[in-house]
């Protein structure tokens, strides 16, 4: 497994992050910056936006590239096993511990431990992770020996951890430890023409995979691609194109059947009514973040200039930047 930052995309053995939109290039810029510093990273973004690809890029562009990259889906580990999974256990530590076992911290020694769906950790597991992040020390279950782990933590979530902190379902001190470097990957619906670049990339990959003649989307499909909301983001686009590529017989990839679209886009009246407030809040948040990112990028990190062009007071504009986690300094040397 490897990942390479090339121009305006991340290439990896299991796929690529491709795009030219402003919000995507900003995320890619932050990924490059994060790869330079050996610090904890938090990747935020909706499901299917490419968080694991970003984690691979950060690891393989860093000084730790020669050491292991170990992923863990936190949502798939029972609360009773999380400590053993991370730190290992001694023989006889619990009923089924017939032999000693090293944990993922030891397996990732010198490299990176990627914690996906970190928001799913239970309160007990959050304490366990926080203790390790504080001093790098850990002790396998049932062992009297303490070890120090040399591991970089990259965490990922598709929820707003700050909001979970307000609800007291995620520890605020752990959030601050994880969010030392915070990168938000934009949803596909906010990336404009990137959907067409990704479409060409995926179709070229499928043609190479199946040794098939070059294929492109039909005119109707091209128009539809730009109108669809893509609730499943890049992953949904890839899966849909893959399916239509395999079932189609012409040189063009045609419109998908309604039954093949994401359930999140179905016209279920009750679902729409129930989710209206949340959808409106998310749309407002996405608009604010996209607008602010574009404004500060065009002003090359100058907050006063960006505020003036936006018709807002500098203090108010600065508060909005802080609210959305946008650091003006990252745009000063972006060119």
In a domain, 61, yes or no: yes
Contact 177, 130 (CB under 8 A): yes
How many CB atoms sit inside 10 A of residue 332's CB? 12
Residue 68 has pLDDT above 90, yes or no: yes
User: What phi and psi values does residue 138 have, to the nearest 5 degrees?
Assistant: -150, 160
Looking at the 3D structure of the chain, how many domains does it have? 3
Same domain as 195, residue 146 = no
Looking at residue 273, its pLDDT comes to 41
- Rounded to whole angstroms, the Cα distance separating 216 from 296 reads 36
Q: Would you say the C-alpha torsion 289, 295, 300, 302 has a positive or negative sign?
A: negative
The model's pTM: 0.74
Partners of residue 72 on adjacent β-strands: 115
Across residues 12-29, what is the average pLDDT? 82
In a domain, 193, yes or no: yes
Q: Would you say the C-alpha torsion 164, 166, 169, 175 has a positive or negative sign?
A: positive
Across residues 257-261, what is the average pLDDT? 70
Same domain as 286, residue 181 = no
Same domain as 325, residue 205 = no
Same domain as 196, residue 150 = no
Residue 268 has pLDDT above 90, yes or no: no
Give the range of the structural domain holding residue 13, as residue numbers without chain letter: 3-185
Residue 271 has pLDDT above 60, yes or no: no
Q: Among 56-65, 253-262, 271-280, which range has the highest average pLDDT?
A: 56-65
Same domain as 293, residue 233 = no
Same domain as 91, residue 22 = yes
Same domain as 157, residue 219 = no
Same domain as 318, residue 218 = no
| pLDDT confidence band for 10 (50 / 70 / 90) | low
In a domain, 49, yes or no: yes
Residue 96 has pLDDT above 80, yes or no: no
**Range in 91-95, 134-138, 171-175, 322-326 with the lowest mean pLDDT:** 91-95
pLDDT, greater one: 274 or 97: 97
In a domain, 86, yes or no: yes
Same domain as 168, residue 58 = yes
From 209, 234, 265, the end of a domain falls on: 265
DSSP string, 241-258: HHHHHHH--SSEE-PPPG
Across residues 78-99, what is the average pLDDT? 73
In a domain, 270, yes or no: no
Looking at residue 21, its pLDDT comes to 93
**CATH number of the domain enclosing 48:** 3.40.50.300
From 165, 185, 205, the end of a domain falls on: 185
Across residues 173-191, what is the average pLDDT? 94
In a domain, 271, yes or no: no
Residue 274 has pLDDT above 70, yes or no: no
Across residues 250-277, what is the average pLDDT? 60
In a domain, 272, yes or no: no
From 133, 150, 185, the end of a domain falls on: 185
Q: Pairing between strand 152-157 and 15-18?
A: unpaired
Angstrom CA distances, 107 to 68, 69, 71, 87, 294, stand at 7, 9, 11, 10, 41
Q: What is the pLDDT of residues 36-67, one digit of tens each?
A: 999 999 999 999 999 999 999 999 999 999 99
Residue 84 has pLDDT above 90, yes or no: no
| pLDDT confidence band for 78 (50 / 70 / 90) | confident
How many CB atoms sit inside 10 A of residue 29's CB? 18
- Rounded to whole angstroms, the Cα distance separating 279 from 322 reads 22
Same domain as 212, residue 149 = no
In a domain, 129, yes or no: yes
Same domain as 125, residue 98 = yes
């Amino acid at each position: 497994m490897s990942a390479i930052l090339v121009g305006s995309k991340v290439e990896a053995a299991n796929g690529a992050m491709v795009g030219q939109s402003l919000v995507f290039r900003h995320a890619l810029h932050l990924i490059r910056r994060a790869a330079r510093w050996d610090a904890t990273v938090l990747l935020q973004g909706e499901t299917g936006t490419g968080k694991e690809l970003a984690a691979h890029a950060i690891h393989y562009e860093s000084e730790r590239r020669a050491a292991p990259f170990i992923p863990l889906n936190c949502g798939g580990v029972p609360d009773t096993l999380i400590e053993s999974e991370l730190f290992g256990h001694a023989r006889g530590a619990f009923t089924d511990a017939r032999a000693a076992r090293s944990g993922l911290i030891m397996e990732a020694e010198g490299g990176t431990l990627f914690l996906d769906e970190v928001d799913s950790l239970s309160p007990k597991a959050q304490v366990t992770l926080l203790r390790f992040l504080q001093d790098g020390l850990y002790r396998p279950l049932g062992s009297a020996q303490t070890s120090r782990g040399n591991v970089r933590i990259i965490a990922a979530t598709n929820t707003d951890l700050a909001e979970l902190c307000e609800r007291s379902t995620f520890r605020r001190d752990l959030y601050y430890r994880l969010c030392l470097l915070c990168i938000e990957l934009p949803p596909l619906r906010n990336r404009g023409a990137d959907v067409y670049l990704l479409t060409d990339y995926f179709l070229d990959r499928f043609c190479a995979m199946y040794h098939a003649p070059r294929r492109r989307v039909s005119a109707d499909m091209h128009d539809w691609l730009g109108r669809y909301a893509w609730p499943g983001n890049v992953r949904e686009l890839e899966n849909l194109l893959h399916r239509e590529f395999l079932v189609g017989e012409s040189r063009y990839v045609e419109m998908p059947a309604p039954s093949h679209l994401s359930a999140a886009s179905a016209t279920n009246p009750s679902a729409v009514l129930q989710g209206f407030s949340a959808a409106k809040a998310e749309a407002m948040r996405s608009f604010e973040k996209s607008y602010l990112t574009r404004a500060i990028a065009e002003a090359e990190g100058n907050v006063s200039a960006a505020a003036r062009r936006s018709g807002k007071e500098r203090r108010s504009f600065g508060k909005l930047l802080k609210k959305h986690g946008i650091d003006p300094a990252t745009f000063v040397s972006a060119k």
